[in-house]
Amino acid sequence: MGDRIEKVSVIISKGSLEGIYPGLIMANGARAEGIEANLFFTFFGLDAIHKERFEHIKVATVGNPGMHMATMIGGLPGMSAIATRMLSKKMEAFDIPSIPEFVEMIADTGCGMFACKASVDLFGFTKVDFIDQVSDIITVGEFYERAAGGEIIFT
C-alpha cells in the first residue's frame, strides 16, 4: 500500500449539476477521511458558489454523451429542466444534499473554498457576488501554493 494522501485540491470548472457534484463529492470524501481539502472554482464552476446561481444549477443535456437518449432531444425547450428534476429526485432518494447544502456542509468541515481571480475578473464578479463560505478570491499561482505537496483533482 502506498503513502497516505494528506492534501487534495479539487478544481471545479463546469457549471452543470454533473460538473459540480463530482468535485464536491471528492472534497467531502477527503474531509471525511481526515484529508486537508481545498476547492478551486473557475470559469462556469463559479456558479456553484455564486449567490444568485447556486440554487439553480441544471443538468447539461446538450453535448452530454452521458445522457444517452436525452442527447437526441436535449436541445428541445424544457429538456434540461426535466432531466434536472429527474436526477434531483434520484439524488434525494439517496439522501444526497442539494448544492447549497453540500457546499455549506463541506465548508463546515474546514474545506477551503476559493474563487479563481482570472475567472472572477473575466465575468465581472466581486467577492460580494459569492456565498459567505468562499474563503477568498485567489490567482492560479496562489492556488498552486496552497496545493503544494498534495494531489490536484480536476473534475
Question: DSSP 3-state assignment of 138?
Answer: strand
What ranges do the domains of the chain cover?
Answer: 7-55+98-154, 58-96
Q: What is the mean pLDDT of residues 113-119?
A: 98
Residue 155 CB neighbours (<10 A): 19
Give the pLDDT confidence of 49-89 residue by residue, as tens digits. 999 988 887 777 555 555 555 555 555 566 667 676 776 77
Q: Identify the burial level of 78 via C-beta atoms within 10 angstroms of its C-beta, where 0-12 means exposed, 13-18 middle and 19 or more buried.
A: exposed
Round to whole Å and give the CA distance between 138 and 150: 18
Domain 7-55+98-154: give its CATH superfamily: DsrEFH-like (3.40.1260.10)
Nearest to 16 by CA among 68, 73, 106, 87: 87
- pTM given for the model: 0.84
